[in-house]
Amino acid sequence: MRTVILARRRLRRRRISWNCCKKIALAVFFFSLCLCLSAEAQARWIRVGLMTAPSAPISGRSLSGRDGGGRRFSLPASFSAHARGSNVVIQGKSYASPVIVSSPHQIRCGKVSYEGELVLRARGGQVTVINRLDVEKYLRGVLGYEINPQWAMEVLKAQAVISRTYALAQMGRHEASGYDVCTTDHCQVYRGTNVLHASTDRAIAQTRGQVLTYRGDLAHTFFCSDSGGATADVGDVWGKRVPYLVVRKEPFPSGSPKARWEVSLSAGEIQNALAKKGKSVGALSQIAIERRDAAGRAAALRFTGSAGSSVLSSAAFRTLIGAKKVRSTFFEFSPDGPRTTDVPDPVQRREAPRTARKIAFDPTPLTTAEDAQLKALIEQKKFNVDERLDMILYPERRRNYLYKALGVETPAMERKREPLEQPAETAKSIPNPARTAVSASLAGGSVTLYGRGWGHGVGLSQWGAKAMADRGWSAENILEFYYPGTTIQKR
Ligand SMILES: [Zn+2]
Rounded mean pLDDT of 413-417?
37
Q: What is the mean pLDDT of the chain?
A: 83
| pLDDT at residue 383 is higher than 90 | no
- Cα dihedral 111→112→118→119 (10° resolution): -60
Rounded mean pLDDT of 193-218?
97
Q: How far is ligand 1, taken at its centre, from the CA of residue 59, in Å?
A: 25
Neighbours of 470 (CB within 10 A): 14
User: How many whole angstroms separate alpha carbon 141 and alpha carbon 164?
Assistant: 12
**Residue 337: its pLDDT value, please?**
59
Buried b (16+ CB within 10 A) or exposed e, 184-211: eeebbebbbbebbbebbbebbeebeebb
| pLDDT at residue 387 is higher than 90 | no
Q: How far is ligand 1, taken at its centre, from the CA of residue 134, in Å?
A: 18
In the sheet that holds 117-123, the strands lie side by side as 45-53, 126-134, 117-123, 99-102, 64-66, 72-74
pLDDT digits (tens, 9 = 90+) for 303-362: 999 999 999 999 999 999 999 999 999 999 887 655 433 343 433 333 323 333 333 455
User: How many whole angstroms separate alpha carbon 377 and alpha carbon 330?
Assistant: 38
Q: How far is ligand 1, taken at its centre, from the CA of residue 370, in Å?
A: 50
pLDDT digits (tens, 9 = 90+) for 230-273: 999 999 999 899 999 999 999 999 899 889 999 999 999 999 99
Q: How far is ligand 1, taken at its centre, from the CA of residue 142, in Å?
A: 13
Rounded mean pLDDT of 80-91?
94
**Residue 19: its pLDDT value, please?**
58
**Residue 348: its pLDDT value, please?**
37
Q: Is 16 helix (H, G, I), strand (E, B) or coil?
A: helix
- Which of 37-46, 100-109, 288-297, 364-373 has the lowest average pLDDT? 37-46
**Residue 377: its pLDDT value, please?**
77
User: How many whole angstroms separate alpha carbon 52 and alpha carbon 30?
Assistant: 42
**Residue 438: its pLDDT value, please?**
83
Rounded percentage of the chain residues whose pLDDT exceeds 70: 76
| pLDDT at residue 60 is higher than 90 | yes
**Residue 5: its pLDDT value, please?**
55
pLDDT bucket at 2, cuts 50 / 70 / 90? low
- Cα dihedral 412→415→417→423 (10° resolution): -20
- Which of 42-51, 338-347, 456-465 has the lowest average pLDDT? 338-347
User: How many whole angstroms separate alpha carbon 367 and alpha carbon 373?
Assistant: 10
pLDDT bucket at 420, cuts 50 / 70 / 90? very low
Q: How far is ligand 1, taken at its centre, from the CA of residue 174, in Å?
A: 7
**Residue 415: its pLDDT value, please?**
36
| pLDDT at residue 286 is higher than 70 | yes
Rounded mean pLDDT of 293-306?
93
**Residue 8: its pLDDT value, please?**
62
**Residue 368: its pLDDT value, please?**
66
Q: How far is ligand 1, taken at its centre, from the CA of residue 280, in Å?
A: 32
Q: How far is ligand 1, taken at its centre, from the CA of residue 187, in Å?
A: 4
Q: How far is ligand 1, taken at its centre, from the CA of residue 170, in Å?
A: 8
| pLDDT at residue 285 is higher than 60 | yes
pLDDT bucket at 407, cuts 50 / 70 / 90? low
Q: How far is ligand 1, taken at its centre, from the CA of residue 481, in Å?
A: 27
Q: How far is ligand 1, taken at its centre, from the CA of residue 180, in Å?
A: 8
Backbone angles phi, psi at 377, to 5 degrees: -65, -35
Q: How far is ligand 1, taken at its centre, from the CA of residue 39, in Å?
A: 28
| pLDDT at residue 51 is higher than 70 | yes
| pLDDT at residue 373 is higher than 90 | no
In terms of pLDDT, which residue wins out, 38 or 240?
240
- Which of 33-47, 244-258, 436-450 has the lowest average pLDDT? 33-47
User: How many whole angstroms separate alpha carbon 129 and alpha carbon 367?
Assistant: 60
Q: How far is ligand 1, taken at its centre, from the CA of residue 175, in Å?
A: 10
**Residue 163: its pLDDT value, please?**
97
pLDDT bucket at 371, cuts 50 / 70 / 90? confident
Q: How far is ligand 1, taken at its centre, from the CA of residue 105, in Å?
A: 27
**Residue 158: its pLDDT value, please?**
98
Q: How far is ligand 1, taken at its centre, from the CA of residue 263, in Å?
A: 29
Rounded mean pLDDT of 148-152?
96
Q: Is 21 helix (H, G, I), strand (E, B) or coil?
A: helix
CB 68 within 8 A of CB 96: yes
Q: How far is ligand 1, taken at its centre, from the CA of residue 181, in Å?
A: 5
**Residue 356: its pLDDT value, please?**
30
| pLDDT at residue 424 is higher than 70 | no
pLDDT bucket at 436, cuts 50 / 70 / 90? very low
Q: How far is ligand 1, taken at its centre, from the CA of residue 182, in Å?
A: 4
pLDDT bucket at 382, cuts 50 / 70 / 90? confident
| pLDDT at residue 389 is higher than 60 | yes
